[in-house]
């Protein structure tokens, strides 16, 4: 499922990048997230169609703050090659990967098309730690040992942002609330530092069957995000535990659903599985997020 979601987002991204639709205005919204927003991407894009807004999704199933913040540019990655001669012919070149800030025990992961600071394009495999030149027909000599990596998203720094990344750091890496909170703050500081205050930061929801210590971590992060970002904050957890969600999706909750809500966990009728929201909830949240963007006066 993670691979499928990742491919879906890449397809959406490159389709948007190649669009020649002249009806789209200058407003761009970019979302940084993992599987929840990857599933939601088509619903949000559909909601924004009537406003002629370009929606760019960098939401990839299973992803973590380290990867997505590197994409954004707030926690950049640079690579170095073993020597100054880079092989072509589709051969991978071993690289050393360095990221500016260490958030916790996990490393940025995945395979992505990138452009290096010397103008070379290629594919960077963060897991296998290698770089393959896009043009396989020739070898290339380089003069600099260290090269900065551009994943293609820095150009959206002035755009409207939606953030919902970090939950996998908790579930996969046992990160503390402070580590995740600081990672998100750095991503938001990156756009605020150039005067961009147009963003929504979304809290996390609690999965069905999630251990108590992870539940408490999520609730603590949600609390600190709400306190810091105020009107910019949207609480998925509160919405999914409310009576309103059932009205919005036109479903009558079962006794089991109510029991899970009482435990502050994702109800079965609201989900694809224990960790992911149902298509109906995705659609409802897409509407709510659009309404919040309008309320914040980002859309007209």
- The domain spanning residue 214 has which CATH number? 3.40.50.1110
Note whether 88 and 58 are within 8 A (CB). no
Give the number of other Cβ atoms within 10 Å of residue 274's Cβ: 13
Give the pLDDT band (50/70/90) at residue 105: very high
**Residues of the chain above pLDDT 70, percent:** 91
For residue 268, tell me if it sits in a domain. no
What is the distance between the alpha carbons of residues 172 and 211, in angstroms, rounded to a whole number?
13
Q: What are phi and psi of 160, to 5 degrees?
A: -70, 135
Q: Pull the structure tokens for residue 245.
A: 């969600």
Give the pLDDT band (50/70/90) at residue 140: confident
Note whether 79 and 147 are within 8 A (CB). yes
Give pLDDT tens digits for 238-291: 999 999 999 999 999 999 999 999 999 999 999 999 999 999 999 999 999 999
163: exposed, middle or buried (C-beta count within 10 Å: 0-12, 13-18, 19+)? Answer: buried
C-alpha dist (Å) from residue 180 to 43, 75, 192, 226: 27, 14, 19, 14
The answer on 158 and 146 residing in a single domain is no
Give the pLDDT band (50/70/90) at residue 100: very high
Please name the residues in contact with 14: beta carbons below 8 A apart, sequence gap of 6 or more: none
For residue 221, tell me if it sits in a domain. yes
For residue 254, tell me if it sits in a domain. no
For residue 196, tell me if it sits in a domain. yes
The answer on 99 and 20 residing in a single domain is no
What domain range includes position 283?
A: 2-73+154-235+278-295
Is the entire prediction scored with pTM above 0.85?
yes
Instruction: Give CA angle at 203 (199, 205), nearest 5°.
Output: 145
Q: Pull the structure tokens for residue 98.
A: 């360095």
C-alpha dist (Å) from residue 70 to 97, 118, 124, 154: 12, 18, 12, 9
Average pLDDT, the chain: 91
Find the range with the poorest average confidence among 19-33, 66-80, 125-139, 189-203: 19-33
Give pLDDT tens digits for 7-33: 344 334 433 333 323 334 589 999 999
Please name the residues in contact with 245: beta carbons below 8 A apart, sequence gap of 6 or more: 239, 270, 281, 284
What does the pLDDT average to over 165-170? 98
Query: How many residues appear in the chain?
Result: 300
Final residue of a structural domain among 150, 181, 211: 150
Final residue of a structural domain among 89, 117, 150: 150
- Give the pLDDT confidence score for residue 88 in this predicted structure: 86
- Give the pLDDT confidence score for residue 125 in this predicted structure: 98
Structure-model confidence comparison of residues 252 and 85, the more confident one? 252
Q: Pull the structure tokens for residue 283.
A: 């659609």
The answer on 163 and 68 residing in a single domain is yes
């Amino acid at each position: 499922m993670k691979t499928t979601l990742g491919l879906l987002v890449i397809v959406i991204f490159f389709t948007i990048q190649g669009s020649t639709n002249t009806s789209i205005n200058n407003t761009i919204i970019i979302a940084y997230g993992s599987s929840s927003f990857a599933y939601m991407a088509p619903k949000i894009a559909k909601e924004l169609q009537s406003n002629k807004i370009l929606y760019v999704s960098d939401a990839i199933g299973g992803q973590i703050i380290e990867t997505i913040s590197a994409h954004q540019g707030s926690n950049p990655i640079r690579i170095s090659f073993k020597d100054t001669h880079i092989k072509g012919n589709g051969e991978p070149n071993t690289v050393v990967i360095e990221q500016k800030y260490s958030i916790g025990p996990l490393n940025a992961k995945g395979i992505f098309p990138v452009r290096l600071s010397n103008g070379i394009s290629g594919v960077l495999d963060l897991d296998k730690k290698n770089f393959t030149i896009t043009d396989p027909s020739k070898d290339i000599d380089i003069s600099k040992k260290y090269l900065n990596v551009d994943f293609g998203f820095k150009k959206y720094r002035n755009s409207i942002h939606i953030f919902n990344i970090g939950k996998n750091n908790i579930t996969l890496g046992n990160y503390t609330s402070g580590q995740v909170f600081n990672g998100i703050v750095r991503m938001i500081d990156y756009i605020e530092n150039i005067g961009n205050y147009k963003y929504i930061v979304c809290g996390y929801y609690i999965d069905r069957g999630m251990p108590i210590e992870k539940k408490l971590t999520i609730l603590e992060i949600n609390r600190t995000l709400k306190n810091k970002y105020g009107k910019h904050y949207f609480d998925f957890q509160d919405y999914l535990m409310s009576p309103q969600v059932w009205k919005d999706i036109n479903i009558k909750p079962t006794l089991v659903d109510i029991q899970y809500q009482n435990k502050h966990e994702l109800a079965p009728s609201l989900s694809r599985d224990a960790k992911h929201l149902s298509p109906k909830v995705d659609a409802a949240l897409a509407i709510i997020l659009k309404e919040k963007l309008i309320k914040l006066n980002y859309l007209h």
